[in-house]
Amino acid sequence: MQFGIFTVGDVTPDPTTGRTPTERERIKAMVAIALKAEEVGLDVFATGEHHNPPFVPSSPTTMLGYIAARTERLLLSTSTTLITTNDPVKIAEDFAMLQHLADGRTDLMMGRGNTGPVYPWFGKDIREGINLAIENYALLHRLWREDVVNWEGKFRTPLQGFTSTPRPLDGVAPFVWHGSIRSPEIAEQAAYYGDGFFHNNIFWPADHTKRMVELYRARYAHYGHGTPEQAIVGLGGQVFMRKNSQDAVREFRPYFDVAPVYGHGPSLEDFTAQTPLTVGSPQQVIEKTLAFRDYAGDYQRQLFLMDHAGLPLKTVLEQLDLLGEEVVPVLREEFAKGRPANVPDAPTHASLLAAKNAGREDQEKEGARA
């Protein structure tokens, strides 16, 4: 099972000091957080993509390429890549380039974005959000698998004899996750292709996440990719920890109370009771995270949101120390217990390449026999 972090990349004033980091500080902090993730033994770093203030990560592959050069093991991903408003040709090119530079340590997560005006800013119609996600991904899927593509669609200029370069590393397309909070159509899309499905699992009650994951698993099996239990599921989560849980609550409350998205709403206590948010000791984080399995089944990837709402870099790095030293080792051990042998790990470049080579050998054997 993979463990990692995902970031929104918000530039938010620290409510306890009133100080707002500069964009440069925030970008450098995101890099420092990624490097720390590798240092403490996490597997994945994923960045969001946004095209409006107060967010900085508009150019994910630039940032991930830089991080790739400074890490050895860390898997670089997105949370999410906007399949609706980006040109699928540019996504194909950018992530294939990143895949080569990172020696295959990359995958990506498709999303539709959460800011209405991004659609018109990129010349798109938000009412076509689902259709854009469907058509653009259909093209992206082909660009990575066919050397020469002829294409005509509703949303993009046609392609005649187009080859997306560089070709994917070893002829293996980066693994794709599809992220959605509440659109069954996207769970269906992930299932259709046999891709991964990710639920951000942060702002909504668990029963909602459960419904989406169950739908994806059932449809994954329907399309013949395996049993429902073998579908590739990722979940988000949000935690703030201190050794002593009361210290965690005291320190996080001012950030929670004014946080973007859910600030000025319910109390910290109500929100932690109703959603997967955990504010407390590492042991409490372990217990709540292990319980995700009760409603999502045995899953493949757990990403935590650690750096937002104006938390200072120093605090985030301390959080990552706790996560890497005290939480994730226990989660790895506990999640492995009782996990059926036929539940696969999340695909990586190495596993996809091995599967491809095995398929080719099978074909050659068939050929030799014929």
Partner 1 sequence: MKLVVVSAGLSVPSSTRLLGDRLAAVAAPAATAPEPAPADVRVIELRDLAVEIAHTFTNGFPAPALADAFAEVASADGLIVVTPVFSASYSGLFKSFFDALSVTDEDALAGKPVLIAATGGTARHSLVLDHALRPLFAYLKAVVVPTGVYAASEDWGAEGLDARIGRAATELAALVAGPAGTAGRPAGRPLPKRDSFEEVTPFAERLAALSVPGPSPAP
d(CA 170, CA 102): 13
What do you get for the CA distance between the two ends of the chain, in Å?
A: 40
Alpha helices in 159-281 (DSSP H): 184-193, 206-222, 245-257, 268-274
Contact status: 295 vs partner 1 (CB under 8 A): no
Over its C-alpha atoms, the chain yields an Rg (Å, rounded) of 21
Contact status: 166 vs partner 1 (CB under 8 A): no
**Closest approach of partner 1 to the CB of residue 244, in Å:** 28
Contact status: 184 vs partner 1 (CB under 8 A): yes
Contact yes or no for 190/197 (Cβ under 8 A): yes
The interface region with partner 1, picked from 40-48, 55-63, 66-74, 268-276 by CB under 8 A, is 268-276
Q: How many residues bind partner 1 (CB under 8 A)?
A: 37
Give me the 210-249 binding string for partner 1, x by CB under 8 A, dash otherwise: -x---x---x------------------------------
Contact status: 260 vs partner 1 (CB under 8 A): no
The correct pick among 10, 43, 49, 135 for binding partner 1 (CB under 8 A) is 135
The correct pick among 16, 62, 274, 357 for binding partner 1 (CB under 8 A) is 274
Backbone angles phi, psi at 107, to 5 degrees: -140, -175
Contact yes or no for 3/287 (Cβ under 8 A): no
Contacts of residue 224, defined as CB under 8 A and 6 or more positions apart, other chains included, come to none
Give me the 297-336 binding string for partner 1, x by CB under 8 A, dash otherwise: ----------------------------------------
Q: Residue 296 class from Cβ within 10 Å (0-12 exposed, 13-18 middle, 19+ buried)?
A: buried
**Closest approach of partner 1 to the CB of residue 188, in Å:** 5
The correct pick among 13, 65, 153, 344 for binding partner 1 (CB under 8 A) is 153
Contact status: 340 vs partner 1 (CB under 8 A): no
User: Cβ closer to partner 1: 64 or 212?
Assistant: 212
> What DSSP letter does each residue of 46-59 carry, written as one string?
EE---SSTTB--S-
Q: Helix 184-193 vs helix 206-222: angle between axes, to the nearest 10 degrees?
A: 30
Report strand pairing: 107-111 vs 239-241.
unpaired
Q: Measuring CA to CA, how many Å separate 69 from each of 23, 72, 286? A: 22, 8, 32
CA 360 from centre of chain: 30
**Closest approach of partner 1 to the CB of residue 135, in Å:** 5
Contact status: 126 vs partner 1 (CB under 8 A): no
**Closest approach of partner 1 to the CB of residue 254, in Å:** 17
Maximum alpha-carbon separation in the chain: 74
Contact status: 363 vs partner 1 (CB under 8 A): no
- Interacting residues toward partner 1 by CB under 8 A: 130-131, 134-135, 138-139, 141-142, 145-146, 153-154, 171, 184-185, 188-189, 191-193, 203-205, 208, 211, 215, 219, 262-266, 270-271, 274, 356, 359
